[in-house]
Homo-oligomer: A and B are copies of this chain.
Amino acid sequence: MSIKFEVLHVCKQSGARLGKLTTPHGVFETPFFMPVGTQATVKTLSVEEVKEVSEGLILGNTYHLWLQPGADLVEEHGGIRGFMQWDGALLTDSGGYQVFSLTEMRKITEEGVFFKHHKNGSSLFMSPENSIQIQEKLGADIIMSFDECPPPYETDDYMQKSVDRTIRWAKRGKDILASDQALFGIVQGGLNKDIRKYCAEKLIEMDFPGYSIGGLSVGEKKHEMYEMTHFLNPILPFDKPRYLMGVGSPDDLVENVINGMDMFDCVLPTRIARHGSALTTLGKIVIKNQTYEHDLTPLDPNLQTPISKYTKSYIRHLFKAEEMLGMRLVSYQNLAYLKHLMAEIRTAIKEDRLLDYKEEMKKKTNYFKSR
């Protein structure tokens, strides 16, 4: 097995888990957040900067890299790590999410999915087997089973059929895996608890080294997401890492850590950064607002980083002037803040006071006000 995981402590106040994930490219305390390097780059940032603002573990997207530049070219570089010169640990998704969210004219068969390229319209096919084979070429430490990611409000009937197929696909992926990469199974089932439980149990029977939860943060209400992770927490094996896919807003991170989740990724911090929204220890701010025109204080007065030297006024100017450095600085800030937040969460777990920490955060920030 190429990864190891152990739970080091359970927060007496919240039930949240502190763990240790050992990978071929680093040992990481969980829970952690992973920046997303969709196309073998975390948008706007250099690998040196990503190193500073991450735990040393990032995610690459199989779908995008398969289409551009192609898995073979990445393999020529020794995988994504060599391609983008990333010396930390790496995770890839299966492509399933993108196949179901970006493409049109899909035809799902037992064999796999036929669909059109999301930009040029060419005909493509992805199966559980070629998802694994592509991920082997991309060479991440942790990889994902190819799954169907249906919309959250599908009928129970459709969801049951979909989950059965996802389970069969997980088995086919596991059977064809030839590398020592750690392959996770992905629990689907939308908002139906019975089907989620059924999916989780079938995957657990296959004994994956970790379990992902997919199909959340896709349009459902926040309380529905939290109910589902709370529900799955006791069902998933205690001694295996749980990866909640596509979740990365500060409030969602805290709530889902409390519900027993260990790993997170999301494009949110870098995406909102490019539109000038900054995540700070004092809450989310929109840097283009007039109120910051003459504000000579740093973006985040409580978080000392290499970008603390810039004033809000200057960063606002960069956005007004449409200068890329603005996107860089806020992307850096947002990932630095999430790294800081996760470190604080881990400390709070160790000290058995994560619920208190959440209450403090509710008072100090506006992150919990978007319900």
Chain B contacts for A68, CB-based, 8 A: 317, 320-321
Q: In this assembly, does A63 line the interface, its C-beta being within 8 Å of a C-beta of chain B?
A: no
Instruction: Produce 1/0 per residue, A87-104, CB < 8 A to B.
Output: 000000000000000000
Taking CB atoms and an 8 Å cut-off, the chain A residues in 317-334 that contact chain B are 317-318, 320-321, 323-325, 327-328
Chain B contacts for A77, CB-based, 8 A: 296, 311, 313-314
Q: In this assembly, does A363 line the interface, its C-beta being within 8 Å of a C-beta of chain B?
A: no
Q: In this assembly, does A303 line the interface, its C-beta being within 8 Å of a C-beta of chain B?
A: no
Chain B contacts for A328, CB-based, 8 A: 44, 46, 324
Q: In this assembly, does A291 line the interface, its C-beta being within 8 Å of a C-beta of chain B?
A: no
Asked if residues B325 and A69 are in contact (CB atoms below 8 Å), the reply is no
Q: In this assembly, does A43 line the interface, its C-beta being within 8 Å of a C-beta of chain B?
A: yes
Expressed in whole angstroms, the Cα–Cα distance for A48 and B100 within the complex equals 42
In the complex with contacts A77-B311, A85-B310, A313-B77, A323-B69 CB distance below 8 A: no
Expressed in whole angstroms, the Cα–Cα distance for A76 and B297 within the complex equals 12
Q: How many residues of A sit at the interface, in one of the four size bands? A: 35 or more
Asked if residues A44 and B83 are in contact (CB atoms below 8 Å), the reply is no
In the complex with contacts A73-B293, A85-B310, A44-B317 CB distance below 8 A: no
**A306 to B, closest residue via Cβ:** B48
Chain B contacts for A40, CB-based, 8 A: 314, 317
What would 25 A/B residue contacts be, using CB atoms closer than 8 Å?
A39-B317, A39-B318, A39-B323, A40-B314, A40-B317, A41-B321, A41-B325, A44-B328, A45-B325, A64-B321, A68-B317, A68-B321, A69-B313, A69-B317, A69-B320, A73-B293, A73-B313, A73-B317, A76-B296, A76-B313, A77-B296, A77-B314, A83-B311, A85-B310, A324-B327
Asked if residues A76 and B39 are in contact (CB atoms below 8 Å), the reply is no
| Nearest-Cβ distance from residue A202 to partner chain B, whole angstroms | 37
**A316 to B, closest residue via Cβ:** B69
Expressed in whole angstroms, the Cα–Cα distance for A73 and B320 within the complex equals 14
| Nearest-Cβ distance from residue A139 to partner chain B, whole angstroms | 15
Q: A83-B317, A84-B314 are in contact. List 17 more A-B contacts (CB 8 A).
A: A39-B317, A39-B318, A39-B323, A40-B314, A41-B325, A45-B325, A46-B325, A48-B306, A68-B317, A69-B317, A69-B321, A76-B313, A77-B311, A77-B314, A85-B310, A324-B324, A324-B327
Chain B contacts for A43, CB-based, 8 A: 323-325
Expressed in whole angstroms, the Cα–Cα distance for A120 and B345 within the complex equals 48
Expressed in whole angstroms, the Cα–Cα distance for A327 and B73 within the complex equals 21
Q: In this assembly, does A161 line the interface, its C-beta being within 8 Å of a C-beta of chain B?
A: no
Q: In this assembly, does A309 line the interface, its C-beta being within 8 Å of a C-beta of chain B?
A: yes
Instruction: Produce 1/0 per residue, A128-148, CB < 8 A to B.
Output: 000000000000000000000
Q: In this assembly, does A12 line the interface, its C-beta being within 8 Å of a C-beta of chain B?
A: no
In the complex with contacts A296-B76, A296-B77, A324-B327, A41-B85 CB distance below 8 A: no
| Nearest-Cβ distance from residue A180 to partner chain B, whole angstroms | 25
Chain B contacts for A320, CB-based, 8 A: 68-69
Chain B contacts for A316, CB-based, 8 A: 69
Instruction: Produce 1/0 per residue, A292-318, CB < 8 A to B.
Output: 011010000000001001110110111
Instruction: Produce 1/0 per residue, A197-228, CB < 8 A to B.
Output: 00000000000000000000000000000000
In the complex with contacts A69-B317, A76-B294, A296-B77, A44-B311 CB distance below 8 A: no
Chain B contacts for A327, CB-based, 8 A: 324
In the complex with contacts A68-B320, A314-B84, A320-B69, A325-B44 CB distance below 8 A: yes
Asked if residues A83 and B39 are in contact (CB atoms below 8 Å), the reply is no
Taking CB atoms and an 8 Å cut-off, the chain A residues in 230-262 that contact chain B are none
